[in-house]
Structure 1
Amino acid sequence: MTVDRMRPREQPGEHARPALSGVSHQRAGPRNRAGEQDVPFAVTRISPEARSAATRVLASGWVTTGYETQLFEQEFAAHVDAEHAVAVSSCTAALELSLRALGLPPGGKVLLPTMTFCGAAHAVLHAGLQPVLVDVDPRTAMPDPDTVARASRACACPDAMMVLHYAGAPAPVAELAEAAQLPLTHVIEDAAHALGTSVGERSVGSLSRGTCFSFHATTNLPIGDGGMVTTDDPSFAERIRRARLHGMSADAARRNRPGDSWRYTVEAAGLKANMTDVQAAVGRAQLRHLDAWQRRRHALAEHYAQSLEVVPGIEPLEAATPGQHACHLYVVRVSEEYGTSRDELIELLAERGIGTSVHFIPLHRMPYFRSTATIPPGGLPGADALFHQLLSLPLHLDLTDRAVDRVCEELARQGAGSPAA
């Protein structure tokens, strides 16, 4: 995420406040030197119902994990067609707790894409396991069966695998598990981008042992922060539910009964990673808007796709497998044909008031992971080739059709082959 391209939404009645970039907010939005309104990379949508729900819970006097969290878990599980859901503090916590719940041996080897957020690799390491980085297909930005098989051979049989649905695109979970010679019970899905994704006809949420969702401020269901693990395995869900609160046998709601505050035991390691009822109340209210929000995201993505067909060198990513895209990000490749480098294009667009980002810097390019992760012999050439081309364009619910037109017009204008360049 490019932080200085994000701006919180200004609510009615609020005074103008400084943006993260230091630019003052006006009701019409900041304008660039050409007098045009800026197009921020991301804007967080918090519905009026969500604000009211948060106020209601704050006024109740019970704000930590409780009944509201239980309701959010039930409603979310139903939304993604899973049997169980466990609410936690973040997607990173969800990944770590899921890996711990697999019961792998200390130092067990976990395959994960090098093209992912650093939190995924931290989750592997914090779970006492060894990350093994997998190359990606430059056409999709995700591993394919060949790159998974190569990484699997390099580590002499992995113990588990983390599959990322990059940008909201469906990943071929079963095929990747087969390539790694792993049962689906040893696969965890990183669905931070994938609320609304389906693989074939099946919703992401119960395709593997555990699926981990994010409610970060820029996701399709923003609640500020938070995460959720979904699964069809009741014992797996119970291990995560207990581990999210220090491994204690009783949560705050149970210990709130008269005389029971001290009655609990600890039988396994755990974290402080529970979701609060305030977050859950916001999540429940936001969830009621999700279908409509997803329709708008799909319309914006289709608008981009049609408009960029005529811009040489700006190429959309290809689908790795049939299914439904969640449209969390709209990512393109800036190829050599475009004539302007990706980095130069980012700066040119910024000068025009258009925010962009890059998802992601490959993990093997970061010093910490070069020393802590396993990198297959021969390196990760697909990710290296793709990284310098990746560009994420604005995609959020405050984006207008005119703003999409403007982004596409600027992309057409800034290419070295453009008559206006």
Structure 2
Amino acid sequence: MTAAMTATTTTAVPFAVPSFTGAAREAALRVLDSGWITTGAECGAFEAELAAYLGQPYVVAVASCTQAIELSLRALRPAPGAPVLTPSLTFCGAVAAIVHAGCRPVLVDVDEDTLVPSPATVAAAVRRAGKPAAMVVCPLGGYPADHAALADAAGLPVGRIVVDAAHGPGGAVGRADDPSRAPYATCLSFYATKNLPIGEGGAIATHDGDLAAWLRSARLHGMTRDAWRRYLPGGSWRYDVAELGFKANLTDLQAAIGRAQLAALPGWQRRRAELAARYDAALAPLVRLPRRDPGHAWHLYQVRVRERDAVIAGLSEVGIGTSVHFIPVHRLTGFAALFGPDERAALPVTDRVGAQLLSLPLYPDLTPDAVDVVTGRLAELLA
């Protein structure tokens, strides 16, 4: 038995461990003691601080990234059944959001090296399915996909692009753009395993003031005045609903945690990059790695392996957790009926890499020694 084997038999390496600062715990208690825990002043402060971090003029916090995508697409006012481009190699919720927005998802194959759609694969999807109404761009794992180049390939203005940045923030994804090349909306996730973990929650960053104003109403049933503003001293109980909205708001309890977590994010991102570099040094000779470009958010550390199930089992038996991101949506029973045989057959790279991708542990509290344990065991299995 090797040193790596000995280490892993006594020390488990979980796949994901969310980091929470002491300040986040204090912030949660502060809100609980304040008498106001739903959407209010903390939410507004979190939105402003996140906007400053991203360099974006507007951020609107919502209940999840999935709802952020749906709301952003609805705000574009697509015709019923309008085609919306999306990769199949993405989280199922991102494609469900397209359907719930009343649109028809059109699947795009991915590039072999980046694992995200390329201008060539986008153009191929447009030739197959016709001009889309919009596109959802997914920077898988935090890879900084060029949404403007993909928009050009789709024949769309960047104002018809929604970026599913659930695997950011932290890198280039979601950062300020030249307004002339900025996407309509960049959607973020604060799920427990994400780079900025709150537990649940999401947000939309945008340059579009009209979109931000619509979102603030739409996230709370379409009401013209939320409870916080109605109950402030001098506030009025009156409100209107000009357009039916949704229950998709973030609470002050979540926002206060998010504010404290945001202060720690730069340090966490440096740690993620350091750990990814350590993985790369050990694994580059052994497995095929996706391309590395500046601005990667390093939400996931993905490798490609053959006989994936056997590798997963070999890592699991010594306490190393793994995951798969993702099962292509056209392989999921509830989605398969949405796509015809020709569309499912038009995704050869997605099918190939989807059968090989494996996500290894990557989070700020992971130690270099734990990375060595993972790479040592993986080397044994691949040998």
- Fold-level similarity (TM above 0.5): yes
Partner of 2:331: 365
Distance 1:115 1:59, change over 3 A: same
CA distance in 2, matches of 1:174, 1:134: 16
1:369-394 Cα shifts (integer Å, max 9, x gaps): 11124663743111111111100000
RMSD of aligned residue pairs (Cα, Å): 2.1
Taking the aligned partners of 2:178 and 2:71, their CA distance within structure 1 comes to: 19
After superposition, the Cα gap between the structure-2 partners of 1:259 and 1:201, relative to the gap in structure 1 and judged at 3 Å, is: closer
Question: Of 132, 140, 145, which residue of structure 1 is paired with 2:119?
Answer: 145
Pairing 1:48-63 to 2, within 5 Å after superposition: 48-63=22-37
Q: 1:308-387 to 2 correspondence within 5 Å?
A: 308-311=283-286, 314-319=287-292, 322-335=293-306, 341-373=307-339, 376=343, 378-387=345-354
Q: Which residue of 2 aligns with 1:399?
A: 366
156-165 vs 194-203, which moves further:
194-203
Distance 1:389 1:272, change over 3 A: same
1:172·1:199 contact (CA, 8 Å) conserved in 2? no
Offset at residue 268 of structure 1 (A): 1.4
Question: Shift of residue 259 of structure 1?
Answer: 8.0
Structure 1 or 2: more helix by fraction: 2
Aligned positions of 1:262-281 closer than 5 A: 262-281=237-256
SS state at 2:288 partner: strand
1:92 lines up with 2:59 in the alignment? no
Question: For residue 155 of structure 2, what is the amino acid of its counterpart?
Answer: Q
The one-letter code sitting in structure 1 at the alignment partner of 2:187 is C
Question: Conserved in 2, the CA contact under 8 Å of 1:32 and 1:38?
Answer: no
Query: Counterpart of 1:152 in 2: which secondary structure?
Result: helix
Task: Measure the CA separation in 2 of the matches of 1:193 and 1:34.
Answer: 28
Q: Distance in 2 between matches of 1:203 and 1:174?
A: 10
The question of 1:42 aligning with 2:16 is answered yes
- C-alpha deviation, 1:199, in angstroms: 6.5
Query: In structure 2, do the counterparts of structure 1 residues 204 and 245 end up closer, same or farther at CA, with 3 Å as the change threshold?
Result: farther
CA distance in structure 2 between the partners assigned to 1:324 and 1:208 by the alignment: 17
Residues 74 and 283 of structure 1: CA distance in aligned 2, closer, same or farther (over 3 Å) = same
Which among 16, 39, 50 is matched to residue 65 of structure 1? 39
What amino acid is the match of 1:227? G
Q: The residue matched to 2:205 in structure 1 has which SS?
A: strand
Q: CA deviation at 1:155?
A: 1.9
Q: Tell whether 2:259 aligns with 1:288.
A: no
Write the distance in 2 (CA, Å) between the matches of 1:328 and 1:316: 15
Alpha-carbon contact 1:168-1:194 (below 8 Å) kept = yes
Q: Does 1:195 align with 2:169?
A: yes
Kept in 2: contact 1:88–1:273 (CA 8 A) = yes
Q: Secondary structure at the match of 2:67?
A: helix
SS at match of 1:85: strand
Query: Within 2, Cα distance between the matches of 1:317 and 1:137?
Result: 10
Deviation at 1:310, TM superposition (A): 3.2
Q: How does 1:75-86 map to 2 (within 5 A)?
A: 75-86=49-60
Q: Identity of counterpart residues, as a percentage?
A: 51
CA distance in 2, matches of 1:126, 1:157: 20
Counterpart of 2:138? Answer: 164
Q: Which structure 2 residue ranges, 5 or more long, are not aligned?
A: none
TM-score (norm 2): 0.94
| Cα distance change on mapping 1:32 and 1:281 into 2, 3 Å | farther
Q: 1:290 to 1:152 in 2, by over 3 A?
A: same
**Which deviates more from structure 2 when the two are superposed, residues 205-214 or residues 125-134?**
205-214
Does the Cα contact within 8 Å between 1:162 and 1:190 map onto a contact in 2? yes
Listed one character per residue, the Cα deviations across residues 29-48 of structure 1 (whole Å, up to 9, x for unaligned) are xx999742100000011111
Match of 1:307, SS?
A: helix
SS in structure 2 at match of 1:323? coil
Verify the 8 A CA contact 2:198 2:258 in the aligned structure 1: yes
Amino acid at match of 1:255: R
Q: Deviations over 1:255-301 (max 9, x none)?
A: 21468564111111211000000000000000001111111111000
Change (3 A) 1:208 1:34: closer
Relative to structure 2, which stretch is displaced further, 67-76 or 100-109? 100-109
Instruction: Give 2:360's aligned amino acid.
Output: L
Alignment partners' CA distance in 2, 1:364 and 1:290: 34
Alpha carbons of 1:36 and 1:210: their partners in 2 closer, same or farther (altered >3 Å)? Answer: same
Query: What per-residue deviation string (whole Å, max 9, x for no partner) do you get for residues 100-138 of structure 1?
Result: 111111211110100000110111111111111111112
Match of 1:87, SS? strand
- State the alpha-carbon separation in 1 of the partners of residues 332 and 112 from structure 2: 19
Asked whether the 8 Å contact 1:80–1:204 carries over to 2, the reply is no
- Counterpart CA distance in 1 for 2:56 and 2:235 is 32
Amino acid at match of 2:14: P
Relative distance call for 1:53 and 1:198 in structure 2 (3 A) is: same
For residues 151-198 of structure 1, give each alpha carbon's deviation from its aligned partner in whole angstroms, at most 9, with x where no partner exists.
112221100000011100110111100111000000000000021221
Are 2:69 and 1:102 equivalent residues in the alignment?
no
